[in-house]
Structure 1
């Protein structure tokens, strides 16, 4: 049993992440966008813990302040946006079915290399397991509104998991293709199939996030017509080096 260090009602700077906590077996939190130094100082646990933060790339004030608390920069998260992508209906792409669950989990477990979890040395040993559980949440009805899979010779070799936002946009939450099937246009085909999902008379607004370190993904999104819309610095805290004042 993991002790709760504070109830959610009392927290101002930190929001509990109970899903990630169940995987890492330690208290996990995300930093609120309106955090203050005083609230964070009061709420930061001193033991084994994980806190994730995303702050503006510029100005550097927030990033530098968090580093004083013991947070470490692990990533620059990029968000790309598109509103008018070419649509396609590649026969290799179809909606996911319940029987695809184990194949999708396996692909998620071995296909990611540059997520914030993989880039953080303190979490790299858990990163594959986190991504597999993340994809599995779709089949458990806990995350995602749509999943597409890519098939070759009746075997699943890729998947795309998407979320619908309240304003009707589609967010690519996860996308992966087996290494052996890379270079065959499957990621492009899944994204173009997603662009056919009509939530109104107009084509949907599509959003996708990736890491600055993942140049291959950045080039793919730009070649499809996505444009960079936002960039944020990602920092992680593991309970070491807490600043005292």
Structure 2
């Protein structure tokens, strides 16, 4: 049967929790990617158990489980996206996960999830899968989802020597200053074209640009990023990099990891090495803060960004696909 939450089926809440954690261990491609050997196995297990417990506690009827005699055969859940909904102009949500050991189970729990999200008034549903999950991708497409984005993820292990690496470039590179915020926001409003927001025909013209502008303003205010780096010349912002620290992994394991969230260079300044200089500055800064590894993602179509990260020592560690369905 498909249960809407713990206790609706034959298994106890404790058994469902253990089954959900086991499903994560068996099917998830790897939360920490190439940095897994940095994280103790006990910490990885604890993170999965805590995540499963949080899902069981917080998701309620938005969590759909397929029970089997000895545990959980599949799980799917969705969460509303309040921030996105306000900017899209209609209720939006995302699939948190779609995990199943059999294709028939995957499709059954997906159908139930779509029914419940539609009943809740959701009009726009986003899902992201690891590109190795072809069965999941086929199930989404067959259910009416369209692919709107593909992401390549690069990773780099940081060593202490990077903290003293020299960074040179054709502009002044450093942490952002308050008088640069409006220049950062303006650049963010026109720097992107390959992302899922711009690829989504359901969004009105201009929405994607405004999303990035507000995202960068939030980053400068400390809500969406822990570090904002800029490149500037003659008081003009030519580029920026934002970084987010993984506080949850550090809490569980004591290991510091970070993600480069957004990178942009002004069109007139491209080809001058500014993106490389900002990325190298970010790596030096993070090495000084004892960060052990950094991840960064870019769109499949953004070949220039992929080459930039590889030139800075990053290596490809994963890929994902983003889908969208209108309900």
Deviation at 1:201, TM superposition (A): 7.7
Moved over 6 A (4+): none
Deviates further, 41-50 or 23-32: 41-50
**CA–CA distance in 1 between the matches of 2:203 and 2:306?**
24
How large is the Cα RMSD of the aligned pairs?
2.3
Unaligned runs of 5+ in 1: 1-6, 240-245
Q: Give the structure 1 partner of residue 182 of structure 2.
A: 102
Pair 1:159 & 2:215 matched: no
Please, which moves more after superposition, 164-173 or 200-209?
A: 200-209
What SS does the aligned partner of 2:240 have? strand
1:60 aligns with 2:60: no
Could you tell me which of 58, 65, 69 is aligned with 2:143?
Answer: 69
Match among 206, 216, 228 for residue 135 of structure 1: 216
- 2: distance between equivalents of 1:209 and 1:185? 19
1:24 paired with 2:56, answer no
* Residue of structure 1 equivalent to 2:167: 89
User: CA, structure 1 residues 201+138, in 2 after alignment: closer, same or farther (shift >3 Å)?
Assistant: closer
Kindly indicate whether structure 1 or structure 2 has the higher relative contact order, using CA contacts under 8 Å at least 6 residues apart: 1
Over 3 Å counting, the alpha-carbon distance change for 1:38 and 1:69 in structure 2 is closer
Contact map agreement 2:98 2:110 (CA 8 A) in 1: no
TM-score, normalised with respect to structure 1 = 0.86
Larger Rg: 2
Match of 1:44 among 93, 112, 117: 117
Whole-angstrom distance in 2 between the partners of 1:31 and 1:48: 12
Q: Matched residue pairs, number?
A: 233
Q: How big is the shift at 1:110?
A: 0.3
Bigger proportion of residues as helix: 2
Deviations 1:203-235 (A, max 9, x none): 631110001111111111112111111111110
TM-score for both structures, normalised by structure 2: 0.66
1:48 & 1:30 partners in 2: Cα distance? Answer: 10
Distance (whole Å) between structure 2 residues aligned to residue 140 and residue 238 of structure 1: 33
